[in-house]
Amino acid sequence: MFATFAVIALVLAAVGLYAVTSYSVTQHTRDIGVRMVLGAQSGEVIWLFLRRAFVQLAIGLTLGLAGAFGVGKLLRGFLVQTTGRDPVTLIAITTLVIVVSVFACLWPARHATRLDPLVALRHE
């Protein structure tokens, strides 16, 4: 039962992370247009948004892993055939969150850099 709830929570967290990150990048389409008009390369613009995502990701993973260790200690009596600090599970979840965050940032940023700068400047 815990595994089912954990998978549901992981999917909801991944979808929420993708939605928030993608929306944040999409809101900066006008900024991307300005940067492209001023001569920025698309790789530089994408790297700008990836750096922002990595800072938020580092903070979120630090707090999340600390919370996972704390909750793992509390639920030690309920867990069967595993521990609250299972490294395989924690590494798999961390990897999934990193991949979702990078994809959520990369997809809209690449789309916005491919737009005509004038269209990007008119984007609302």
pLDDT in tens, 74-111: 777 777 777 767 888 889 889 988 988 888 888 888 88
Of 54, 61, 49, 48, give the one whose Cα is nearest residue 24.
49
What pLDDT does 124 receive? Answer: 62
What pLDDT does 58 receive? Answer: 92
Spatial CB neighbours of 123, under 8 Å, sequence gap ≥ 6: 29, 30, 33, 115
Supply the pTM of this predicted model: 0.75
Contact call for residues 97 and 13 (beta carbons, < 8 A): yes
Q: Where are the domains of the chain?
A: 42-113
